[in-house]
């Protein structure tokens, strides 16, 4: 079975993090509804849906704090999407370190321990296992 590719994620994260983008907005992007919600300037919560209809299911639900550079995942449909989102944020905020956290309930069955070499920002993240 083919793994899904999320080629549009890089461009989506670029659009979300631009200074002209409102943190309270909803728009359709490459056939996916994107909802941005925020109560403050330095924080955005993003919900990415499978289709342009919010009742079709979610692909990802995550938030980003611009001040502390923390990317928090509530849920995603798979590791490939999670890693695409992480890679995009790392690219736009290098050389600063992005802190990544996961919702304990949604990710309790997965190993979410990732280590990144901050000098190789142009390469996708590599998962290393802790012993």
pTM: 0.77
- DSSP annotation of 72 reads E
| pLDDT the model gives residue 110 | 55
| pLDDT the model gives residue 106 | 61
Report CA-CA distances (Å) from 75 to 14, 16, 17, 93, 131: 20, 18, 20, 22, 25
| Chain segment 80-110, per-residue pLDDT in tens | 999 999 999 999 998 889 999 998 766 555 5
100 burial type by CB count under 10 A (0-12 exposed, 13-18 middle, 19+ buried): buried
| pLDDT the model gives residue 27 | 94
């Amino acid at each position: 079975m083919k793994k899904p590719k999320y080629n549009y994620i890089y461009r989506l994260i670029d659009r979300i993090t631009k200074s002209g983008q409102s943190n309270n907005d909803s728009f359709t992007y490459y056939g996916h509804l994107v909802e941005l919600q925020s109560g403050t300037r330095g924080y955005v919560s993003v919900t990415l849906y499978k289709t342009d209809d919010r009742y079709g299911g979610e692909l990802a639900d995550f938030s980003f704090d611009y001040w502390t550079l923390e990317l928090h995942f509530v849920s995603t449909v798979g590791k490939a999407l999670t890693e695409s989102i992480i890679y995009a944020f790392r690219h736009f905020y290098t050389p600063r370190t992005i802190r990544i956290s996961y919702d304990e309930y949604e990710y309790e069955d997965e190993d979410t321990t990732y280590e990144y070499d901050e000098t190789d920002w142009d390469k996708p993240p590599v998962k290393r296992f802790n012993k």
